Amino acid sequence: MAAQGTGRSSRWGVALRLARRDFSWRFKGLRLLIVCLFLGAGALAAIGTLEGAIRSELSDRGQEILGGDVEFAVYARDADAEELSAMRAMGAVSAGRRVQAMAAAGTRTVPIQLKSVDAAWPLYGTLTLADGRTARAPPDGTAWAGQGALDRLGIGVGDNIRLGEIDVRMGGVIADEPDRLSEGFALGPAVLVSEATLARTGLAAYGSTVRTKYRVALPADVDPADVVAAFEARFPEAGWSTRTRERASPGADRLLANMGQFLSLVGLAALVIAGIGIAGAVSSWLESRRGTIATMKVLGADSGDVLRIHVLQVLAAALAGISAGLIVGVLIVPALASLLRDLLPVSSGFVFDGAALVRAAAFALLVALVFSAPPLIAARRVTAMALLRARVAPPAHMWRDAAIPVGLGLAAIVALALLTSYEPWLTAGFLGAAAAVLGLLALIGIGVRDIAGRIAGGTARRGASLSLRLGIGALDRPGSPTVALVTALGFGLSAFAAIAFIQTGLDRYIAGTVPDRAPDYFVLDVPRDDVAGFTRLVTRQVPGAEVRTVPALRGAILAYGPAGAMTRVADMEDIPEGAWALRGERGLTYSAGLPVGNRVTAGEWW
DSSP 499-517: HHHHHHHHHHHHHHHS-SS
CB atoms < 10 A from the CB of 350, how many? 12
The span from the CA of 366 to the CA of 410, in Å, is 8
Tell me the C-alpha to C-alpha distance, in Å, between residue 150 and each of 114, 160, 492. 14, 11, 46
Return the pLDDT at 498.
Answer: 77
Which of 238, 279, 218 minimizes the C-alpha distance to 63?
218
Return the pLDDT at 134.
Answer: 87
The span from the CA of 76 to the CA of 206, in Å, is 7
Q: Name the stretches of the chain with pLDDT < 70.
A: 1-9, 24-25, 58-60, 184-185, 207, 248-257, 260, 339-350, 380-401, 456-466, 469, 478-479, 513-518, 577, 584
pLDDT tens digits along 449-466: 888 777 766 665 565 566
Tell me the one-letter amino acid at 3.
A
Q: What is the DSSP letter of 357?
A: H
The span from the CA of 204 to the CA of 55, in Å, is 36
The span from the CA of 517 to the CA of 394, in Å, is 66
Strand partners, 588: 553
The span from the CA of 590 to the CA of 606, in Å, is 9
pLDDT tens digits along 244-288: 887 766 666 666 667 767 777 777 777 777 777 787 778 778 777
Return the pLDDT at 248.
Answer: 61
Indicate the angle between helix axes 81-90 and 224-234, nearest 10 degrees. 160
Contacts of 6 (CB under 8 A, 6+ apart): none
The span from the CA of 75 to the CA of 78, in Å, is 8
Mean predicted lDDT score pLDDT of the chain: 79
Query: HSE of 587 in the Cβ direction (CA atoms, 13 Å)?
Result: 8
Contacts of 161 (CB under 8 A, 6+ apart): 103, 104, 105, 143, 153, 155, 167, 168, 170, 191
The span from the CA of 413 to the CA of 391, in Å, is 33
Query: Which helix (H) or strand (E) covers residue 103, if one does?
Result: strand 92-105
Return the pLDDT at 581.
Answer: 79
